Structure 1
Amino acid sequence: MAGKEIIYIYHNTIDALGDKQATESKVFEACETAISELTGIVKIIVNDLSGINIFITADHGFLYTYHPLAESQKISRQTFDGEVYELGRRYALVSPQTTAEYLLPVKTEWEVGGVPMKGYAPQDTVRIKVQGGGENYVHGGISLQEMVVPVIVYKGMRSGYKQYVEVQNPGRIHPQGLYDGR
C-alpha cells in the first residue's frame, strides 16, 4: 500500500447479517462487531501505514423492529392502482400514472431503460408486503434512519505535526458539580 493516496476498504458485517431472515436478529451484535473491527483497521492505518486522514461512512441506515409487525403496519400490492415495476419492503417503482393510498410519492424525473418511473415509500415503520421473510431489518426507504449517512473524520496526527493538539480526558465531575482535575 506504500505510495497510495487513497485506500478504500469495504466492510459489510451489518448488512450481511441484517439482510438474511435467519440472522437479522443479530444486527446489533453486528454493529458492535463492525465498530470493533473498524477501530482495529484505523489503528493499523495510523500505526503501521502512517495514515493521517481517515473517513468512515456508510451507504445507508436501517430500520429494525424487535416484534412482528401488526397487519395494520403492512401495505399490500393491491394498494397500487396501476403498473408496478418493482416492489421492496420500503419502496415501490411504478409507472407515472400509478397511484397508491397511504404511501408517500417520491418525485422522480428519470427513466430506466427508456421507461419513465415514479416512486412511493411508506411512512414510519410501515412495510410493503413482499414474498419471503426478513421484515424486521429493512433499508431503502425515506425515513431519517434510512437516509442519514454518518461521516466520521479521523485525523491521526503525531506530536511532531504542525496542527497537533494534545488530547486530554476531561476529568471527573463530582455530584456537587466540582471538577477534581482527574
Structure 2
Amino acid sequence: MVKLTKIYTGGGDGGESGLVDGSRLTKSHDRFMAIGDVDEANAAIGLARAALKPDSHSAHLLARVQNDLFDLGADLATPGEIEGALRLADGRAAALEAEIDTLSDQLGPLTSFVLPGGSEASARLHMARAQVRRAERRVVQLHAESPLNPEILKYLNRLSDLLFQLSRAENDMGKADILWQPGGSD
C-alpha cells in the first residue's frame, strides 16, 4: 500500500519529473503528456460517477475502471522491463468488452448518431468518453515512439465504447438519447 507522508517534494520545480525506473524527463515529454491525459480522463470518469446512483452497477463498474486507469498510468510511468512493475493486467480490455456486450443486448439498436447530452449523468459520461479518446490518441503517439503494453491500447479503445453505451443506458436505456439529424433541427 502506498503511504505518503509529504505531498510535495520540490523535485519537479525545474520542469522535470521522475519515472518508476528513476529516470527524469521534462513534464512536457510525450510520456508525461500521455500520463496526464489518462489522469484527466480518470477525473472525468469520477465526475460522471458522482452523477450515478452510488450502488448502481454502473457506479461499481466505473470504480473498477478508475482503478484500472491507475494501473495503466503506472504502466505508462514504467518504461522498459522492470521486475515486478505494476502493469495493466491482460484481460482488462476483454472484461470491458463483456460489459459492452451486456449493455448492447439491453439497448435498442442505433438508428442515428447520438449527440452528447440527455440526462446529466449521460452528458458527463459523454465528456469522459471524449477525454478517454484524447488520452488514447496521446498514448498511440507515445507507442509509436516507445512500444507499450498492447493491453493499454486495447483498453483505452474499449473504454470509450463502454462510456458511450453507459451514456445511452443512463438516458433511459437509449429512449431519451438525442439523435443527430442532418441539417440540424429547430
Compute the TM-score of the two structures, normalised by the length of structure 1: 0.24
- Bigger Rg over Cα: 1
Q: Which has the higher helix share?
A: 2
Compute the TM-score of the two structures, normalised by the length of structure 2: 0.23
